[in-house]
A and B are shown apart, each in its own frame.
Chain A
Amino acid sequence: MRIEAIAVSKGSHGAPLPETSFVVDSGEVTIVEAETGDRPVVLALIASGRMVPDSGGITLDGSADPALLRERVALVDAPEISEPPADIKLSTALREELSYSGRSTGRSSILQTITDALHTNHEQGLTPETRSAAELASLPMRDVPPALRIRLLAELALSRPGVDALVLSSPDRHGGLPTDWHTIALDLASRHHPLLIICGAPSAALLPTHAVAAAQPATPLPLPTPSAAAQLPDVPLTPAPAAGEGDEGSGVAGVYGQSPHPLHPQPPRATPATRATPTTTERPNPQDPDA
């Protein structure tokens, strides 16, 4: 399955969304940088077929059918659009999400869902959680750890009938490590789902690798998933300089660094609204045991 956006834009003079292109294939994570007020949401809506772009087009496996796109692509945790209200308890949010998927909404199902998510995150080497599922279930959404939140919302979105691809909007707004949600995204992509992540440039810059794409279709390149990712320590990762990085307009594949590094003071690139939006596409390791 391939989702391809060609020079989609909304509004005029690049506001709220300048012309942006990206491609997401099954089993790949594509990162598109989008910042400022409406831009991430607009892009997320367009990418999931829920807003008509003023220019350009978006196709799913070559067909430009927004209804099909809406059916196959879920919009996860988009601010103001599909995020759970900050005040409600996690259990309430999960009950609603479970009901979207047509699954059991009992308390045991909710706790089981949390337990599964914690387990999967732990397996992926993310920050371990010391609190029990029941404790976490009674937390308001605003206090739920970002990695757990994104894991739960993304997994539950994928479990909805007909949903195959995810658009994850601004996962960086919850804080935490960008590598955490990136890892989760890679894990989900490794199950042959196309994954589009929309985040700010600073977060993108913190990821182990990223490429800056021009306002044209980025060529997605496969990225090996480091096996060492499972043993990541509790320190932020430093993206290793990738060969050929800096050539704007060409999608460059980044690879996870093998060793953890402290955050290096790489200045984030300012991305004016009228500038092209850099995108990064990564492919999880095909040999990943979870794949």
Chain B
Amino acid sequence: MKLLHLVATELRRLTATGMARLALVALMLVPVLYAGLYLWANNDPYGNLKDVPVALVVEDTGSTLDGKAVNYGDDVKEQLLDDASVGWKVTSGTEAAKGVRDGEFDFILTLGPDFSKALTSAAGDTPEQAVVELTTNDTNSFLATTIAGQVAEKVRASITERVGKEAALSLLNGFATVRSNLTEAVDGATKLADGTTSAADGAKTLADGTATASAGALSLAQGAGTANVGAQQLDSGLQQLRTGSADLPAQANQLNDGAQQIAAGNAQLSATANEVAGTVQDAVNQVPAARADIVAILDASSLTPEQKAAVLAQLDRVGTAIDDGNAKVQQANAQIGALAAGSAQLAAGTQQLADSAPALTNGIAQAADGSSQLSGGLQQVAQGSLDLSNGMQQLVDGSSALSTGLNTVNSGAGTLRDGLASGLDDVPNQTPDQRETAAQTISDPVALDTSAVTKASNYGAGMAPFFISLAAWIGIYALFLIVKPLSRRAVTAMKRPFLVATAGWATPAVLGAIQMAAVFGIITVALGYQVEHPWGMFGFMALTSATFATIILALNILLGSVGQFLGLVLMVLQLVTAGGTFPWQTLPGPLQVLHQVLPMSHAVDGIRQLMYGGNLSLAGADAGALFFWLVGALLVSYLGTRRLTRHRTLRDLRPSLIG
């Protein structure tokens, strides 16, 4: 409650008299006037460039392109006058030069006599750049120069686009011709590749066949060689046989004579033996009868049986021997008979041999002659087959080389075909319409598609966050010209420095919030800027104002009017470092540090986020930074108030240097 009373007393003091009320209202209106007037004046400067007077001088004499007369200078002039982004005034070079000096024109855009000639020179052998001449005079307006640069750049870009499109189109048409020729080349190369493939296959077959033939020829040569050797041996054998069998008939006759004699002798021998054997056989045949007579004699004798047996045994031994001898005689007789028969056969054979030996001798002689002929022939065969084999080997080598070579040819033809085909793929296959579009794209390859995360509705809305922050500071600064930072009565009467400091802050904070409400109204209603988070933004503005109030309060408490002056210095410092116009990264290093620290930077950023619907967490961080400043400055105010509560110094009483 004490807080409310302190604030109420201060507010009553500020509104106690008519003059005081007038002063309060005037100071309360400072931020509205400041932000409102500035933003109104700069609401849409770029939209109002059409009122900026600019001289346009076209001296282009024209040129020819593909036999047609062209005058790009006139085209550009028409385009610029239609576009009317600035207040173009077509005039002569001398008039323009005079006008830009005495301020009649802000700048001059000149297209020289060779403008078209230079533009069409790209098709010739000596291409040269066309020149758009820009004449500025910073005494007219420095920003006019910047704008002139932008205008000239737009002109340059549009000319570049047109000329570039024509060049690109003729290039693309050339490509289309190349493509159709290339298509034929691809077909030919395909056929060639197919042919070389068959040739390579044939060569391979040939090589395989010749290899087989070569192997056969080699076997043939080897066989013929062997046969040749055999024939040579046969021939020499037969020659020996011929030599050896030359006396054969005579000798056969001699043999035959001997054999005849043997056969005759043996026949005689056999007859004799037969007589002997008969005789012996007869003797034998008489033995049993003799034995029976003896036995009978014996029986008749008075000999005892034992004597008889002994006599008989003696007799039987002789009888057995006679039998054995007879057997041998009979055997020998049979053998002699066989011998006689065999020698008779032999004699018959020798007789035949002797008869046939001349014929054999003649045959052998004929065979020896034949084998001589055979050997000679085989000699020739062996030589020929050897030659054949060697030739076949050469044939094999040649056909192998042929196959390899044809393979190379084939792969080369394939590469040629593939290369041509891929080349064909790389050459765009375009219809005339597509070529038109492509030429357009080549001449203007990059379209800037601005996808704005957030958007300020115009220049003024873009500057608004900066000027709202500035207005907040200026408003609080102005308020402290009449608002008493501290209730000295309360400092003297109470031991509640925190309460007193808070009351000293609450008064300007409340008034600042009202100022911000007025500024907010001007921005949203009068200027009609779009605000994405109205309540958030207003709250943030009030926080900004309240934060600035604590800062200037702390300065006032610590240093009196010197502190108030420092508030002005601090404002200038923040005006520079807040990054309200150019991005803060363009500041020099030390000022960038200040940008990060000082509260207005955070105020500008937070209002931007809330006004354009940006990142609310960033706005939250900005609010946090401001709150940090608020608490810090309030703490400083409290400490200053506590000191004043405890003891004053003379400096507290003396009027300060300023104010």
Contact = CB atoms under 8 A, between A and B. Distances in A.
A-B interaction: yes
Interface of A: 10-11, 16, 38, 41-42, 45, 48-52, 66-67, 70-71, 74-75, 78, 80-85, 87-89, 92-93, 95-97, 99-100, 105, 140, 157, 160
27 contacts: A11-B650, A38-B654, A42-B653, A45-B648, A49-B647, A50-B647, A51-B649, A52-B647, A67-B646, A70-B495, A74-B493, A82-B488, A82-B489, A83-B489, A85-B13, A85-B16, A87-B13, A88-B12, A88-B16, A96-B5, A96-B9, A96-B489, A100-B490, A100-B493, A100-B494, A105-B1, A140-B17
B54 interface: no
Interface string B619-659: 00000000000000000000000000111111001100000
Contacts of A100: 2, 490, 493-494
B488 A81 contact: yes
B8 interface: yes
Contacts of B17: 87, 140
A87 B20 CA distance: 9
B16 A42 contact: no
Contacts of B489: 81-84, 96
Interface in B390-428: none
B1 A96 contact: no
B653 A41 contact: yes
A71 B495 CA distance: 8
A55 B646 CA distance: 18
Task: Kindly name the residue among A10, A41, A99, A157 whose own CB sees the greatest number of chain B CB atoms within 10 A.
Answer: A99
A95 B647 contact: no
Nearest to A75: B492
Contacts of A88: 9, 12-13, 16
Contact of A70 (B2, B488, B646): B646
Interface string B1-43: 1100110110011001100100000000000000000000000
A49 to B, nearest CB: 8
Q: Which applies to chain A's interface (DSSP): helix, strand, loop or mixed?
A: mixed
B113 to A, nearest CB: 79
Given A81-B489, A81-B648, 15 more contacts: A16-B650, A41-B653, A50-B648, A51-B649, A71-B495, A82-B488, A85-B13, A87-B17, A89-B12, A96-B9, A96-B489, A99-B5, A100-B490, A100-B494, A140-B17
B644 to A, nearest CB: 9
Contact of A51 (B1, B16, B490, B648): B648
Contacts of A10: 650
Task: Kindly name the residue among A11, A51, A71, A160 whose own CB sees the greatest number of chain B CB atoms within 10 A.
Answer: A51
A92 B650 contact: no
A79 B493 CA distance: 14
B12 A92 contact: yes
Contacts of A75: 492
A96 B488 CA distance: 12
B182 to A, nearest CB: 98
Nearest to A51: B648
Contacts of B1: 99, 105
Contacts of B654: 38
A16 B2 CA distance: 34
Contacts of B490: 96, 100
Contacts, number: 83
A100 B119 CA distance: 88
Contacts of A48: 492
A95 B9 contact: yes
A34 to B, nearest CB: 14
Q: Which applies to chain B's interface (DSSP): helix, strand, loop or mixed?
A: helix
Nearest to B20: A87
Chain B interface size range: 20 to 34
A140 B492 CA distance: 22
Contact of A82 (B2, B12, B13, B492): B492
Contact of B5 (A11, A71, A89, A95): A95
Nearest to A97: B493
Contacts of A105: 1, 5
Task: Kindly name the residue among A71, A88, A89, A105 whose own CB sees the greatest number of chain B CB atoms within 10 A.
Answer: A88
Contacts of A81: 488-489, 492, 648
B648 A92 contact: no
Nearest to A101: B493
A104 to B, nearest CB: 10
A83 to B, nearest CB: 7
A80 B653 contact: yes
A213 B466 CA distance: 65
Contacts of A41: 653
Contacts of B20: 87
B16 A140 contact: yes
B9 A66 contact: no
Contacts of A16: 650
Interface string B488-521: 1110111100000000000000000000000000
A38 B149 CA distance: 66
Nearest to A160: B493
A168 B2 CA distance: 24
B16 to A, nearest CB: 3
A29 to B, nearest CB: 21
Interface in B174-207: none
A20 to B, nearest CB: 16
Nearest to A91: B12
Nearest to B653: A38
B8 A92 contact: yes
Task: Kindly name the residue among A16, A38, A80, A85 whose own CB sees the greatest number of chain B CB atoms within 10 A.
Answer: A85
A209 to B, nearest CB: 31
The 4 A-B residue pairs with the shortest CB-CB distance in the complex, in nearest-first order: A87-B16, A82-B492, A99-B5, A85-B13
Contacts of B646: 50, 66-67, 70
A89 B6 CA distance: 14
Nearest to B16: A87
Nearest to B19: A87
Given A92-B9, A96-B5, A100-B2, A66 B493 contact: no
Contacts of A89: 12, 16
B6 A96 contact: yes
A71 B494 CA distance: 9
Nearest to A74: B493
Nearest to A38: B653
A69 to B, nearest CB: 11
A79 B645 CA distance: 16
A82 B488 CA distance: 6
Nearest to B484: A85
Contacts of A11: 650
B492 A42 contact: no
Contact of B492 (A71, A78, A85, A99): A78
A168 to B, nearest CB: 13
A81 to B, nearest CB: 6
A95 B8 contact: yes
Contacts of A82: 488-489, 492-493
A115 B9 CA distance: 22
Task: Kindly name the residue among B487, B648, B650 whose own CB sees the greatest number of chain A CB atoms within 10 A.
Answer: B650
A48 B646 CA distance: 10
Contacts of B647: 49-52, 66
Contacts of A38: 650, 653-654
Task: Kindly name the residue among B5, B8, B20, B489 whose own CB sees the greatest number of chain A CB atoms within 10 A.
Answer: B489
Contacts of A96: 5-6, 9, 487, 489-490
